[in-house]
A and B are shown apart, each in its own frame.
Chain A
Amino acid sequence: MYVAVKGGERAIENAHAFLDEERRGDPSVAELSVPQIREQLALAVNRVMAEGSLYDPDLAALAIKQARGDMIEAVFLLRAYRTTLPRFAASSPIDTGAMACVRRISATFKDAPGGQVLGPTFDYTHRLLDFALLAEGEPPLAPQAEPATGPVPHITSFLNRDGLIEREEPSDEMPPDLTREPLELPANRALRLQALTRGDEGFVLGLAYSTQRGYGRTHAFVGELRIGTVAVEVDIPELGFAVEVGEIEVTECETVNQFKGSKTEPPQFTRGYGLVFGQSERKAISMSLVDRALRWKELGEDNIGAPAQDEEFVLSHADNVQATGFLEHIKLPHYVDFQSELELIRRLRAEAAKEAAE
């Protein structure tokens, strides 16, 4: 007779226990510690912090461990935790001009004040599997130089001086907060940048790539890419000045984009901007390309119908926690809807058969 296919509480609990066991893997292999993940899978940690919108390398490493390395699941864990945190202050804007850079490169100028610093990059490595890593052992220490102490001004500011690049006027306007207000369109640039910086790396990369291949081409050069630590300061009203509460590592990318001028703007270089938590170079560059593509309206450019120019399309689909949740919800029971569809199809088929017979 009728056996109800129902997931009781016990089935759920047992499934979770099974999952825990699978996460641990073979118990004869040493367990991975959270500090190991934080230190040795740092780029994964950075990605989870960026898309999770929470700067906490320990929690991000914990999330990666708990999620068995599923990055989107780890992002989700961090986001769900983030929601429960109280907000006791908003920081002053970080000053990336005062960044202690570990890496700083420009594709537009051979040299500039502050110099080019390659830093810890995969660029120019030959992608050959390093079988030496199979054996455990410490790598030789990297040669050290005295840290440069001079100022490291933003490279696009040199173009600014000659009026060759559009000016970014500072503004005291309070940026909207994507995590505290519903997304309403049209969005201003600050809101778009928020959505992009926490957007899925793969999605933003794909969109950026599409602009390079002609779907909303913006002719981007990396004017400057810098990675390093910046101080986070909070204004304390009782004290009347800002106090440094910590340091974060960020990646900043400024693109210089060719622009022939439009009805409203003279010919000059324009900008795309990317800023991402941690060392997240691919994401920061992608973000600045998509940012630039989305600015077609304010620059008086034509909308050629490219996906990367479509604000609603980009902003509505960039969030991987939203996307994965909705995508995977089709695993949930839909008996009722499916049943009503079944009846409809049977009815339509019966009518079609009747008509064919007549």
Chain B
Amino acid sequence: MEDYNFAYLDEQTKRMIRRALMKAVAIPGYQVPFASREMPMPYGWGTGGVQVTAACLTPEDQLKVIDQGADDTTNAVSIRKFFQRTAGVAVTEATAEATVIQTRHRIPETPLTEGQILVYQVPIPEPLRFLEPREVETRRMHALEDYGLMHVKLYEDIAKHGEIATSYAYPVKVEGRYVMDPSPIPKFDNPKLGGNAALQLFGAGREQRIYALPPYTQVVSLDFEDHPFVASKADHPCALCGATDSYLDEVIVDDEGGRMFVCSDTDYCTGRQQAWTEDAA
């Protein structure tokens, strides 16, 4: 694709995005407005993540793209192919080998290391949005650190349901300052947000926001002393690799209520199955 610049976006646009990224890294958890561009894939399908990835990629990078933890779901395939065409970068499915990982809805099970960048696709960056629909108002609330509404919501959940009824996109507080939406990852993944060795970047294209967690940032899932945060998952081992520590997808196997549970992180699962086979051999 010689008609397009490396990684599709022109250098001016990348510079604009990098400036927003620098600001985001300097103020962890703060949503930086950026002039999101129209991309050749629809808004809501990862345009924010794609722009952040495009602004970060160098020709030497090894890119991994996952959706729901899997490398071979349709949209992950489509985004990976986009960067293969427009940037010609090497791609990989191995978490450990990747220098840049674009993800939708999961954090890989394999711990990330220094130098890696994890790029999240974000639909609604504003953690207060469903409590207050107005952007003018929510920006003011962040500025004043006015998070009372959020605590009331969590409290009401406990009063009504006995627990905080949020299972994904579970809000966190960053470095004791900004309340942040971690994108719709299951709350099982929340503990991996804090103290992570990798740089975590969040891109919301339609909503024109970028935010970031620099390596080793303190990230705390909101909770109460008497109702502490619990990272939950289906109470089963993976039916394919036997893992008990990974997030599981439920798969319906027949029309009589039969189901099985398998790792949502396909690279993690395949790696464990291979290790098994090698041990057996």
Contact present for A343 and B233 (CB under 8 Å): yes
Q: Which A residues from 64 to 122 make CB contacts under 8 A with B?
A: 76, 79-80, 82-84, 86
Shortest distance in angstroms between B91's beta carbon and chain A's nearest beta carbon?
12
A86 to B3, CA, bound (A): 13
Give CA–CA (A332, B43) in the complex, Å: 12
Chain A residues with CB under 8 Å of B4's CB are: 84
Asked whether B240 is an interface residue with its Cβ less than 8 Å from the other chain, the reply is: yes
Chain A residues with CB under 8 A of B52: none
User: What CA separation (Å) do A328 and B77 show in the bound complex?
Assistant: 18
A336 with B165, Cβ < 8 A, contacts A83-B39, A184-B33 known: no
Specify which of B73, B234, B239, B262 is in contact with A333 (CB 8 Å cutoff): B73
User: Are A325 and B167 in contact, CB atoms less than 8 angstroms apart?
Assistant: no
Contact A180 B250 (CB under 8 A): no
User: Do residues B162 and A80 form an inter-chain contact, with CB atoms below 8 A?
Assistant: no
Q: Please, which residues of chain B bring their CB within 8 A of the CB of A9?
A: 77, 81
From A2, A8, A84, contact of B72 by CB (8 A): A8
Per-position contact with B for A307-335: 1 when CB-CB < 8 Å, else 0? Answer: 00000100010000110111111001111
A336 in contact with B44 (CB, 8 Å) = no
Q: Closest CB of chain B to A205's CB: distance in Å?
A: 22
- Complex: how many Å from CA A200 to CA B84? 33
State which residues 71-92 of B face A: CB under 8 Å.
72-75, 77-78, 81
Segment at the interface with A among B62-70, B111-119, B142-150, B218-226: B62-70
Interface assignment of A341: CB less than 8 Å from any CB of chain B: yes
Asked whether A339 lies within 8 Å of B105 as measured between CB atoms, the reply is no
CB distance from A19 to the nearest CB of B (A): 14
- Alpha-carbon distance A4/B33, docked complex (angstroms): 39
Name B106's closest neighbour in chain A (CB-CB). Answer: A336
Q: Assign chain A's interface to a size class.
A: 35 or more
Assess the B264–A335 pair: CB atoms within 8 A. Answer: yes
Contacts of A328 in B (CB 8 A): 42, 44
With A2-B240, A9-B77, A341-B167 in contact, do A336 and B35 touch (Cβ < 8 Å)? Answer: no
| Chain B 89-124 per-residue mask, 1 if CB under 8 angstroms from chain A, else 0 | 000000000000000111000000000000000010
Give the complex CA separation of A185 and B184 in angstroms.
Answer: 26
Q: How far is the CA of A316 from the CA of B206 in the complex (A)?
A: 10
Do most interface residues of chain A lie in helix, strand or loop, or is the interface mixed? helix
Closest CB-CB distance, A214 to chain B, in whole Å?
23
| B187 CB contacts on chain A under 8 angstroms | 340
Q: Is A244 an interface residue (CB 8 A)?
A: no
- Residues of chain A with a CB closer than 8 A to B10's CB: 84, 86
Interface residues as binary, A341-358 with B (CB distance below 8 Å gives 1, 0 otherwise) = 111100110010000000
Q: Is the pair B186, A336 in contact by a Cβ cutoff of 8 Å?
A: yes
Tell whether, in the assembled complex, residue A79 and residue B70 are in contact, meaning their CB atoms are under 8 Å apart: no
B72 to chain A, nearest CB (A): 5
- Alpha-carbon distance A329/B78, docked complex (angstroms): 14
Residue interface mask A207-251, B partner, CB < 8 A = 1: 000000000000000000000000000000000000000000000
CB of A346, distance to nearest CB on chain B (Å) = 9
Determine if B229 is an interface residue (Cβ-Cβ < 8 Å): no
Q: Is the CB of B43 within 8 A of A322?
A: yes
Instruction: Let me know if B251 and A2 touch, CB within 8 A.
Output: yes
Q: How far is the CB of A187 from chain B (nearest CB, A)?
A: 11
Per-residue 0/1 for B33-51: is the Cβ within 8 Å of any A Cβ (1 yes, 0 no)? 1111111101111010000
Q: State whether A329 touches B186 (Cβ < 8 A).
A: no
Q: A324-B42, A332-B67 are in contact. Are A183 and B208 (CB under 8 A)?
A: yes
Task: Provide the residues of chain B in CB contact with A184, threshold 8 Å.
Answer: 33
Assess the B69–A181 pair: CB atoms within 8 A: no
- Tell me whether B38 and A333 are in contact (CB under 8 A): no
B43, A335: Cβ atoms closer than 8 Å: no
List A residues 178-218 near B (Cβ within 8 Å). Answer: 179-186
Q: Which residues of B contact A2 (CB under 8 A)?
A: 239-240, 251, 253, 260, 262
Q: Is the CB of A333 within 8 A of B67?
A: yes
Q: Indicate if A7 sits at the interface (CB-CB under 8 A).
A: yes
Are B39's CB and A335's CB within 8 A? no
Q: Which of B34, B73, B135 contacts A7 (CB 8 A)?
A: B73
Across the interface, which residues of B come within 8 angstroms of A8, CB to CB?
72, 77
Q: How far is the CA of A37 from the CA of B125 in the complex (A)?
A: 41
Given A322-B43, A339-B234, 5 more pairs with CB closer than 8 A: A2-B260, A335-B264, A336-B105, A347-B163, A348-B161
Contacts A/B (CB < 8 Å), 10 sampled = A2-B253, A80-B38, A180-B35, A321-B38, A321-B42, A325-B206, A336-B68, A336-B105, A339-B186, A348-B161
Interfacial residues, chain A to chain B (CB-CB below 8 A): 2, 4, 6-9, 11-12, 76, 79-80, 82-84, 86, 179-186, 312, 316, 321-322, 324-329, 332-337, 339-344, 347-348, 351
